[in-house]
Amino acid sequence: MRLKLSLMGIVSLAAVIFLLSWQVNIEILGYVLSKRSIKVLAILLSAWSIGSATLVFQTITGNRILSPSILGLDSIYILFQLLAVMLIGRFSPLATNPYVNYIVTTILMCLFSSLLYQRVFSKKKSIFSVVLIGVVMGTFFSSITGMLQMIMDPDAYTMALDRLFASFNDVEEDLLLLSSIIVSLVVVQFYRNHHLLDVIALGKNYAVNLGIEYDKEVKKLLVMIFLLISVSTALVGPITFLGFFAVNITKTYLKTHKHRILIWGTVFMATITLLISQILVEHVFGFGLPISILISIFGGTYFIALLLRESAA
Amino acid sequence: MIKINELEKKYGRKKVIDKISLEIPKGKITSIIGPNGAGKSTLLGMISRTIERNGGSVLIDEVDVKDWENNELAKHLGILKQSDSVNVRITIEDLVGFGRYPYSEGRLTEEDRKIIDRSIGYMDLESIRLAYLDELSGGQRQRAYIASILAQDTEYILLDEPLNNLDMKYASEFLKILRQLVDDLKKTIVIVIHDINFAACYSDFIVLLKEGKLAKMGTVREIMDARVLEDIYDMPFNVLEVDGKLICAYY
Amino acid sequence: MNLAIKDINKRSLIKLTLILAAAILSLVSLSIGAEEIIWSEAFTEGTFSRTLLFKSRIPRTISLLISGFGMSIIGLIFQQISRNKFVSPTTAGSVSGAQLGIAISLVFFSKVSTLQMMLFGFVSSLAVTGIFMYILRRLKFKEVVYVPLLGLMLGSVISSITSFLAYKYNFLQVLYGWFYGSFSLAISGRYELLYLIIPTLFVSFFYAKAFTIAGLGENFSTNLGLNYRIVVNIGLVLISAVSGAIVIVVGNIPFLGLVVPNIVSLYGGDNLEKNISIVGLTGMIFILCCDLICRRIIYPYELPIALVVGVIGCGLFLMLIFRKEAGSYET
């Protein structure tokens, strides 16, 4: 087990080095390296946050198929960006200062989604209803966003647009430090709670029977998930299926249910997937293909295969 | 007459029904009983073509179920299975009306309507005939399904645990209706049933299954024998005669 | 018996009211727009009003009527044969399938006719819908709200393949503009494809009873001598054909096929034979209203209908989920 885990670690390290050093021009080494390391850091951050968030999300829902990226958080994010520019004006610090923007939207997203799901949870709904509501909300928000886009001032729109379609090639570098702190704090928090996660994975009845305050704990975990997803969305935009892919491959490979190991496995696997996709996008497909599409195709094919295999059994 | 010959069903390697041969006589009530996992419902399913068989044959009026025209068979044989989960919003009246589908696929005739009304009356559903299925209690829904089978007006009626969800009053009333159908209208009824005493009181023949094999078939008197039953169920039985009916006590 | 007759009368009355409402809304829809139609001139050869009426307004209104009717009816059929209230062409990947087919046709043919696109869209939509039903049939875990989630994820996989093709062959923008539901392009010369939907609607009516019975389960259908698989497959073909045609001419209109049948079912039940026309008419009225909102809100410009339907439809759908859940906890 330890061996497999270290193997995953080594592969991800190798991929990092490859991305940093491939075809480096020695004369401008310093510049290139700093440029590239920003990119790699961003990749690591989103891999960590999406990977661990999905693992915990699947543990809570007791389902291998779902991932938090379908909760519609990205559309909430876009909506907030537009509203910020529209309502507060495009010369306010909220629109011009990336720090302020980042912090405010992240907090707002967390607050909003927690409130939303708090309400839903307080009515004792099944977890799938919660997820479905999330998905519908997502469509709802993106419809509103679309409407705003049509009726808002074109200049302001261009301004907002910059933030809407981010990729690893143009990350706000100022934000990386802050994001790193948040992500590592939450992931460590997950790790410290690995026993709790092991029990929650057995289902609500079992967990309650073992004296766990199930609803409270799940709510706490959900807030942390929202935080991670908000961070990665704000940083690089939505990447569907990355988490799903990483978690399932890890579980198949490591064949364990212990979260102590799964967390690191998933994080490594997400890193490897993302790095390799980035390498493919940069060096194999030469047509500016967004990385999220590539991962959706990979992960999505695996998703369908998994469904068919499980249903055939 | 239903003639079953060397009937087989396997799930993977496991034989659920192992070469069963028997004949179910016309104009009688035949109950199929046996412990859990004996293959009662599977047997009934294969007779009614709702479960594929792996070998053997089932003849209904000398023609194999597989060779029957689907629609034609639906006029001769009706089956009620342990109910599919229902969250469909259709009314009792509509459900019972579907029983007439094999006869008049499109429009209901005056004759159809009479039969529907009669079936609804039989099952005491007149006052709630326009209620939706998803608003009913389990017992009411079960009665609605039974009414639909009655409306299908087939010569052979197969029922898979029809007493589920019915309280004692409706259970015994329902079995009395079955008795009437057989005695007055010469229907042939096959019923999978858990309660051995209901089987003994209302049927003519009993089929005993154990582990996918036919253990014994015979008249009620032949089967309601402590030694026979003890052999099948692996527990002590005490058969009493009450009001001319055989009742067995077990606890 | 008395009750039954009362019920029939009530339904006829409802249908009549709905037809009347749809007719009035259609007239309103014909008469508003960026340019005024002068009705006295509209029927004289060669006038501007006439061209406007026959080349733009009438095609648009007819497209609205057909799509509203078609989308709601196939939604209804889909929910019936999948036995799940939350399934619709959008939540089961049929629409994404149609879009993929269109993208493929754009890749294969440099000059592609709408009919070819329609064919590709139809076949690919059928394939995706078929996969969905196959998975659904084999699924052991059939919680009502889990099924649409699965369909949505399936749809997003298919969409990402579409985006991949679009990126590779550089027609992403064209495609997005296209798929985003809007009736502004439903003009003479393009909208005629929608007429292909009309025969499929007749088939739907013909099989209404069979679909209802299929909705009660395979055993129940077999017992009544109905060939369950054939009925389900006919349903799938109808769903894919209608989705394909609408996606090409109008684009994706989310939630229409989901919300309208559900609302009608709440009040009128699930017997397709009785309800199918009520559902279709309600769909017409719903989409006519949404279209009027689109055209008035930033007059003289207009919003794509997908937005307005998205906002209203999502709102209604959320209500339905809450209702459903509340209901299931009562029992």
- CB distance from B75 to chain C under 8 Å? yes
pLDDT at C329: 37
Give residue C231's pLDDT band: very low, low, confident or very high (50, 70, 90).
very high
ipTM over 0.85: no
pLDDT at C23: 93
**Residue closest to A266 by CA, chosen among A111, A39, A15, A58:** A58
Q: Please give the order of strands across the beta sheet that includes B14-24.
A: B14-24, B2-11, B55-60, B63-64
Give residue C331's pLDDT band: very low, low, confident or very high (50, 70, 90).
very low
| Chain B contact set for C222 (CB, 8 A) | 48-50, 70
Contact by Cβ (8 Å): C203, C234: yes
Instruction: Say which range, A251-255, B154-158, C322-326, has the weakest mean pLDDT.
Output: C322-326
State the Cα–Cα distance between residues B133 and B124, nearest whole angstrom. Answer: 15
Predicted TM-score (pTM) above 0.80 = yes
Give residue C328's pLDDT band: very low, low, confident or very high (50, 70, 90).
very low
- Which residue positions in chain B have pLDDT lower than 50? none
Contact by Cβ (8 Å): C127, A304: no
| Chain A contact set for C135 (CB, 8 A) | 307-308, 311
State the Cα–Cα distance between residues A182 and C316, nearest whole angstrom. Answer: 37
Query: Would the pLDDT of A193 be above 50?
Result: yes
The whole-angstrom distance between C70's CA and the closest CA on chain B is 22
The one-character DSSP state at B81 is: P
C317:A136 CB<8 A: yes
Query: Would the pLDDT of C300 be above 80?
Result: no
Q: Tell me: cis bond preceding A98? Omega within 30 of 0 counts.
A: no
Q: Where are the alpha helices (DSSP H) in chain A?
A: 2-21, 29-61, 73-83, 93-96, 98-122, 127-151, 154-164, 173-192, 194-200, 204-209, 214-236, 242-254, 259-283, 291-312
| Chain C contact set for B73 (CB, 8 A) | 225
B102:C222 CB<8 A: no
pLDDT at C250: 86
Residue C143 has its nearest CB partner, among A128, A144, A290, at: A128
pLDDT at C330: 32
C212:B152 CB<8 A: no
Query: Domain map of chain B by residue range?
Result: 2-249
Instruction: Say which range, A131-140, A146-155, A239-248, B107-116, has the weakest mean pLDDT.
Output: A146-155
Instruction: Say which range, A156-165, A287-296, B132-141, B230-239, has the weakest mean pLDDT.
Output: A156-165
Q: What is the pLDDT of residues B5-52, one digit of tens each?
A: 999 998 888 888 989 999 999 999 999 998 888 889 899 999 988 888
Give residue A37's pLDDT band: very low, low, confident or very high (50, 70, 90).
confident
B71:C220 CB<8 A: no
Single-letter residue type at C297: I
pLDDT at A161: 58
**Superfamily for domain range B2-249:** P-loop containing nucleotide triphosphate hydrolases (3.40.50.300)
Q: Which helix (H) or strand (E) holds B78?
A: strand B77-80
pLDDT at A114: 72
pLDDT at C287: 93
Biggest distance spanned by C-alpha atoms of chain A: 65
Q: What's phi and psi for B77, nearest 5 deg?
A: -140, 125
A124:C310 CB<8 A: no
The whole-angstrom distance between B71's CA and the closest CA on chain C is 4
Sign of CA dihedral C97, C98, C101, C102: negative
A300:C161 CB<8 A: yes
Query: Would the pLDDT of A1 be above 60?
Result: yes
How buried is B97 (Cβ within 10 angstroms: 0-12 exposed, 13-18 middle, 19+ buried)? buried
State the Cα–Cα distance between residues B216 and B210, nearest whole angstrom. Answer: 9
β partners of residue B240: B247
How many domains does one find in chain C?
1
First vs last C-alpha separation in chain C:
30
Residue C318 has its nearest CB partner, among A123, A136, A301, at: A136
Q: What's phi and psi for B213, nearest 5 deg?
A: -115, 155
| Chain B contact set for C224 (CB, 8 A) | 74, 98-99, 101-102, 152
Restricting to B residues 90-149, those with a Cβ less than 8 Å away from any Cβ of C are 90-91, 93-95, 98-99, 101-102, 105-106, 113, 117, 129-130, 132, 149
B129:C270 CB<8 A: no
Mean pLDDT of chain C: 84
C315:A146 CB<8 A: no
- b/e B107-146 (16+ beta carbons within 10 angstroms → b): eeeeebeebbbebbebbebeebbebbbeebeeebbbbbbb
C154:A143 CB<8 A: no
Q: How open is the CA angle A296-A300-A305, to the nearest 5 degrees?
A: 160
B and C in touch (3+ CB pairs within 8 angstroms): yes
The one-character DSSP state at C269 is: -
The whole-angstrom distance between C295's CA and the closest CA on chain A is 13
- CB distance from A142 to chain C under 8 Å? yes
Give residue A167's pLDDT band: very low, low, confident or very high (50, 70, 90).
low
C325:A137 CB<8 A: no
C270:B90 CB<8 A: yes
How far is C-alpha B154 from the chain's CA centre?
Answer: 12
* CATH number for the domain that contains residue C7: 1.10.3470.10
Q: How open is the CA angle C251-C252-C255, to the nearest 5 degrees?
A: 150
Q: What domain range includes position C44? A: 2-330
State the Cα–Cα distance between residues A104 and B62, nearest whole angstrom. Answer: 80
For an interface test with C, the pick among B90, B95, B96, B148 (most C C-beta atoms closer than 10 Å) comes out as B90
β partners of residue B241: B246
Query: Would the pLDDT of A172 be above 70?
Result: no
pLDDT at C98: 92
Contact by Cβ (8 Å): C99, C155: no
